[in-house]
Amino acid sequence: MKELLLALALDWLAGDPPNRLHPVAWMGQGIVWAERHAPRRGPLAEFSYGLGLVLGGAVGIGSVGTFAPRILAPFSLVDAWLLKCTFASKSLAAAAGEVQQALEANDLDEARRRVSWHLVSRDTSALSAEHIAAATIESVAENTSDGFVAPVFYYVLFGLPGALVYRFLNTADAMLGYHDEKHEWLGKAAARLDDLANFIPARLTALLLLLAAWLKGEDARREDAWREDAWREDARRGWMIWRRDAGKTASPNAGQPMSAMAGVLGVELEKQGVYRLGEGQRRPQAADIARSVKLMRWAMGLMAILATVFLFARSRRTARR
């Protein structure tokens, strides 16, 4: 439990280390190296290689998480640092804030550059201000799950190896899981395993976002926000939109937190020609990015509390035996 609390403190105070010291960057470099040596002899060979890459990498990184605490037992700071590197909360908030600043300055070119550089892989060259805001909010919602809830969830279940293996699977999917000629079969195993790993965390994240809205009364700008029922309206709307729109994305998981976020904020999140979450609500503005980041922080805080309580209760049961 102390490693989790220390990791949370490190994430809050220090954010991400430079890439040369970041285990996730090392994972990415290893995946790039392995991809260069991938066979190009048809779907079966490519799929088998991709499956071996993902399983071998998961075993390797899981071994690091298993043996590092034993070897470095007196140095819990190292364990906490490894765990912290599976989070991406502070850097995510900073990246979203940079996009918001560019939008508020009416600098669309800079906003497009920042959202493309930090948050999304889609073509942003022709996005309007509303679609840039939507893409940013979508990324905040999805990465609340991928960048915090999921690694903490697997840490609670399986310790440091679980968090590290999850981060490797998620990184492999981000780098290989594309539907193009080069990656269709090479990245299929990574994509499917990532879908499986995120199934519960994505839905848990949606529930945490709804709970955050229910607790804090998300839209404090309303004239009647002092009324308790007005505070709860955002959560009720979020529940409705989540249940209606969560399945509209190609990913079985991405639509879960994104649709909940759309409902709670009362905005429509559209990826042109692909999906519209919260259809019929107003288009998002730059200020809605800050609102999404606040909800993200509340959801992460709730997850941290749940994880800490669970770990404390488990340690007490173990101590009684």
Cβ contacts of residue 238 below 8 Å, gap of 6+? 209, 210, 213, 260, 261, 263, 264
Q: Which residue has the higher pLDDT, 88 or 192?
A: 192
Question: Residue 35: is its pLDDT beyond 90?
Answer: yes
Please list the alpha-helical segments (H only) found in the chain. Answer: 2-14, 23-36, 43-71, 76-84, 89-104, 108-118, 129-144, 150-176, 188-216, 228-245, 255-265, 286-320
User: Mean pLDDT across the stretch 77-91?
Assistant: 86
Q: Which residue has the higher pLDDT, 121 or 196?
A: 196
- In tens, the pLDDT along 159-173 reads 999 999 999 999 999
Instruction: Locate 134 and state its tokens.
Output: 């939507």
Cβ-in-10-Å burial (0-12, 13-18, 19+) of 108 comes to middle
Please give the share of the chain, as a percent, with pLDDT higher than 70: 93
CA distance 35 to 236: 45
Question: Residue 44: is its pLDDT beyond 90?
Answer: yes
- In tens, the pLDDT along 281-317 reads 999 999 999 999 999 999 999 999 999 999 999 888 8
**Mean pLDDT of the chain, nearest integer:** 90
Residue of 169, 155, 149, 147 whose CA lies nearest to 59:
169
Please give the share of the chain, as a percent, with pLDDT higher than 90: 69
Instruction: Locate 319 and state its tokens.
Output: 């101590």
Range of weakest confidence among 20-24, 69-73, 117-121, 212-216: 69-73
Cβ contacts of residue 302 below 8 Å, gap of 6+? 208, 211, 212, 215
The CA-atom distances, in angstroms, between 220 and each of 224, 226, 293 are 9, 8, 15
Cβ contacts of residue 195 below 8 Å, gap of 6+? 251, 252, 253
Residue 223: what pLDDT?
A: 46
8 near 85, Cβ under 8 Å?
no
Residue 68: what pLDDT?
A: 74
**pLDDT tier at 75 (50, 70, 90 boundaries)?**
low
**pLDDT tier at 90 (50, 70, 90 boundaries)?**
confident
97 near 293, Cβ under 8 Å?
yes
Instruction: Locate 248 and state its tokens.
Output: 């509209």
How many other CB atoms sit within 10 Å of the CB of residue 316? Answer: 9
Residue 72: what pLDDT?
A: 64
Distance, CA of 202 to chain centre? 9
**pLDDT tier at 220 (50, 70, 90 boundaries)?**
very low
CA distance 257 to 207: 8
- Three-state DSSP state, 267: strand
Domain spans, the chain:
2-320
Instruction: Locate 302 and state its tokens.
Output: 């709730």
Span between the terminal Cα atoms of the chain, in Å = 18
Range of weakest confidence among 39-43, 91-95, 230-234: 230-234
Residue 130: what pLDDT?
A: 96
Question: Residue 137: is its pLDDT beyond 90?
Answer: yes
Residue 224: what pLDDT?
A: 46
CA distance 124 to 137: 15
Q: Which residue has the higher pLDDT, 88 or 175?
A: 175
CA distance 11 to 219: 27
Range of weakest confidence among 94-103, 107-116, 118-127, 262-271: 118-127
Q: Work out the angle between the directed axes of helices 150-176 and 43-71 (0-180°, nearest 10).
A: 140
Residue of 30, 152, 11 whose CA lies nearest to 88:
11
